[in-house]
Amino acid sequence: AQTVTQSQPEMSVQEAETVTLSCTYDTSESDYYLFWYKQPPSRQMILVIRQEAYKQQNATENRFSVNFQKAAKSFSLKISDSQLGDAAMYFCAYTGTASKLTFGTGTRLQVTL
């Protein structure tokens, strides 16, 4: 079974600074997708970024980028120029041939002035 691990329950970053959220996963599959979802206080799940395992190039979406290390099964999220609106729970997620999403335990990100 696939597992997703987020070892940082909480992180804090100052506005305009950069923060990196960690995620590792375990799988025996070769074809899969990885995601970072954001859950603000409204609890609506919002897709931040996704990465296809077959792509070597790290995905980037504006201020959000990932460091995908396939051999190490690591998938970290970097948020640059942090904004107050980035404060939320962030979940790392995996999907493979079973087609269901497996979530990590989440990291609560605080953004301070």
Which residues bind to other proteins, rule: CB under 8 A? 33, 35, 37, 42-47, 50, 52, 91, 95, 99-106
Distance in Å, CB of 73 to other proteins, minimum:
19
| Identity of the residue, 68 or 91, whose beta carbon is nearer to other proteins in the bound complex | 91
Distance in Å, CB of 2 to other proteins, minimum:
12
Cβ count within 10 A of residue 38: 21
| Identity of the residue, 3 or 14, whose beta carbon is nearer to other proteins in the bound complex | 3
| Identity of the residue, 69 or 100, whose beta carbon is nearer to other proteins in the bound complex | 100
d(CA 50, CA 55): 11
| Identity of the residue, 28 or 42, whose beta carbon is nearer to other proteins in the bound complex | 42
Distance in Å, CB of 89 to other proteins, minimum:
8
